Structure 1
């Protein structure tokens, strides 16, 4: 429960800025909708939905969409934006991904995005998402993919410095292992998402001294020093890096 409070406090701060951050760009949500290929008849659920970026994008293409998140402030932003877009078939519920408040085999489509690196025990929410899915339904996981093995520790350390609710980024192999027993993978694709270092830290209200420390680590790598796992680069005098987003779509056996 202590970690859940850390998550809630972190995302409470991010709520207003989160929906307009680069992660909400239409090019990413359009790509996601296309890859999922809905029929329009699905009962859908977004888990750890935040401001329901995916849920709002998918709602016009499914029968109904429930967005569940731990942080009420994030859901409130999602609800406000859904109302502004006149989305009628979307519903919002406060809840924990580790104990989903739904009957088994309820949903045709379950999606979660950028959530697993905030979970203490990734297996718990994964098993819960599997439980509430109908056989033949689609589970969509879109999350960051870990840096190469030798740099994972320092990569996670920097992520946690920036956001204390961060736990650990999973590798492609770890995600595949979760899916392998009960799902047939239909899609497995990596997208490089460019991120501005300063904007990334400002989103989470990272303290100034910590921002400086992280920036120095990036500058050190840029000048040929120790690697961070971020592979930073300069663009128009700004420090940038690419997050690796791994999209997995599995059909429940």
Structure 2
């Protein structure tokens, strides 16, 4: 049986080539995030669990330099390819784990991570590591999915894990805020609805057809008024859609 790290690597190895063209990579979301970062151009920045370095590549033009770290070599390879195609020169790439960042304390002025926490077995550990390598007065930027209301969290996470076995658990706003509470001043807490096509969402992760069918039936039952899934699916002819809730938190380290 694979451990969790191996499961994550396997999942994202399969997603690597498709990931950069998926809806979560749309420039409208990335551009919004970069504006919210409000970088000044002098920052040494780090993107943690960077994947194909979507944020890092976009942020590069606004900081002094940026390092993109991920434990999937295949995802980083895609990031390197796109960075080279865009002639981005102030970017570097590092294979490594969010739980064990290979940097000294207070190395970076800005640390960013996007859609990563629901893949961590112990979310507190990577958060503590990002806090550790961030300078006092630096910014930590987390953009991740926000959990469904409590009665539906279990089924919501179950479906997410059916679709992608590397999924662990989506955190609530309160859980994210608790991690920031003691050592950060929170400057931003915003939730954005991101429309998702059910079929494309499952195809990205190579979800087996039998599991895709099971998930689709659960969504159809929810739409018909039966058991709720936490996804609040709806029909946008001729496809089943749902809205992911993305929570953006920006904190300044005390």
TM-score range with shorter-chain normalisation? over 0.9
How much has 1:37 moved relative to structure 2? 0.4
Provide the C-alpha distance between the structure 2 equivalents of 1:251 and 1:102, rounded to a whole number of angstroms.
19
Tell me which residue corresponds to 2:227: 226
Q: Map residues 1-253 of structure 1 onto 2, 5 A cutoff.
A: 2-253=3-254
RMSD: 0.6
Q: Which runs of 5+ in 2 are unaligned?
A: none
How much has 1:214 moved relative to structure 2? 0.1
Provide the C-alpha distance between the structure 1 equivalents of 2:158 and 2:130, rounded to a whole number of angstroms.
28
How much has 1:192 moved relative to structure 2? 0.2
Moved over 6 A (4+): none
Per-residue CA deviation, residues 153-188 of structure 1 (Å, 9 max, x unaligned), is: 000000000000000000000000000000000111
How much has 1:55 moved relative to structure 2? 0.4
Provide the C-alpha distance between the structure 1 equivalents of 2:98 and 2:121, rounded to a whole number of angstroms.
11
Q: Secondary structure in 2 aligned to 1:168?
A: coil
Q: Which runs of 5+ in 1 are unaligned?
A: none
How much has 1:243 moved relative to structure 2? 0.2
Provide the C-alpha distance between the structure 2 equivalents of 1:26 and 1:71, rounded to a whole number of angstroms.
23
How much has 1:34 moved relative to structure 2? 0.7
Q: Secondary structure in 2 aligned to 1:98?
A: helix
Provide the C-alpha distance between the structure 2 equivalents of 1:97 and 1:30, rounded to a whole number of angstroms.
24
Provide the C-alpha distance between the structure 1 equivalents of 2:123 and 2:28, rounded to a whole number of angstroms.
28
Q: Secondary structure in 2 aligned to 1:231?
A: coil
Q: Secondary structure in 1 aligned to 2:138?
A: strand
TM-score by length of structure 2 reads 0.99
Provide the C-alpha distance between the structure 1 equivalents of 2:149 and 2:112, rounded to a whole number of angstroms.
26
Aligned residues: 253
Provide the C-alpha distance between the structure 1 equivalents of 2:128 and 2:215, rounded to a whole number of angstroms.
35
Q: Secondary structure in 1 aligned to 2:98?
A: coil
TM-score by length of structure 1 reads 0.99
